[in-house]
Amino acid sequence: MSGTGTPAAAGRRSWLREHSELGVCVLLLAVGALTLFDALTMHVEITQRGPVGPRTMPIAVGAGLLAVAALLAVDVLRGGRGEAEGGEDVDLSEPADWRTVLLLAGVFLAAAALIEPLGFPAAGALLFWGAAYALGSRRFDRDPLIAAVLSLVTYVVFNDLLGVPLPGGPLMGVL
């Protein structure tokens, strides 16, 4: 993303990248405005009991969000930075790997879409295998097997032992 445009544009871009946390302020502002809008356009019926109606809390929360968005913006412009969270498997020295995140989100949505037509065992196995693949696992002998066993066992435990119904799909109809 470097080397294009005038130095001024490049400078602006790097300023924006350094202050990307302002995006959080914009989101907070948007959610706050939405909450306030929803509360203010609410038709309060006569059923309201007591002096505090259903609008009070949303108005307070919405106003709070606007205030926090402003405070956070001030903090960021003054050089404050939210500290990214560390962890055992987290390496913050390298830039974020967006490809993996998008791939995982895609696999998750695909599994969600397939859970009703294919049933839980098949969709769940696809979710596990797909996620492991997205994360870099390439054992084509082992991965699908683990995925299938995990998904089937989970299905049986939830559906038959715990009594939490999951859709079996055509596959379980055959078995």
Partner 1 sequence: MDAFGDLLDGFGTALTPLSLLWAAIGVLLGTAIGVLPGIGPAMAVALLLPVTYGLDPTGAFIMFAGIYYGAMFGGSTTSILLNTPGESAAVVAAMEGHPMAKSGRGAQALAAAAIGHFTGGMIGTLLLVALAPAVADLAVGFGAPDYFAIMVLAFIAVTSVLGASRVRGLASLLIGLVIGLVGLDQMTGQQRLTFGSLQLADGIDVVIVAVGLFAIGEALWVAAHLRRTAAEAIPVGRPWLGRDDVRRTWKAWLRGPLIGFPFGAIPAGGAEIPTFLSYVTEKRLSKHRDDWGRGAIEGVAGPESAASAAGTLGSMLTLGLPTTAVAAVMLAAFQQYGLQPGPLLFEREPELVWGLIASLFVGMVLLLALNLPLAPLWAKLLRIPRQYLYAGILFFAAVGAYAVGGEVVDLVILLIIGLVGFGMRRYGLPVLPAVIGVILGPNAEQQLRRALQISDGSVSGLVNTPFAVAVYVIVALIVLWPLLRRVPVLRRRAG
What is the phi/psi pair of residue 110, to 5°? -60, -45
DSSP structure class, residue 97: -
Decide whether 45 or 141 has the Cβ nearer to partner 1.
45
118 binds partner 1 (CB under 8 A): no
Minimum distance from residue 123 beta carbon to partner 1 (Å): 9
Structure tokens at 144: 């699908």
Query: CB neighbours of 39 closer than 8 A, spacing ≥ 6?
Result: 55, 58, 59, 62
Query: For partner 1, which residue of 30, 40, 92, 149 counts as binding (CB under 8 A)?
Result: 92
Contact 168, 159 (CB under 8 A): yes
Query: Helix 56-77 and helix 22-40: axis angle, to 10°?
Result: 160
82 binds partner 1 (CB under 8 A): yes
Q: Binding pattern to partner 1, positions 143-162, x when CB under 8 A?
A: ---x---xx--x---x--xx
174 binds partner 1 (CB under 8 A): no
Q: Which of residues 4-23 bind partner 1 (CB under 8 A)?
A: 21
Decide whether 10 or 108 has the Cβ nearer to partner 1.
108
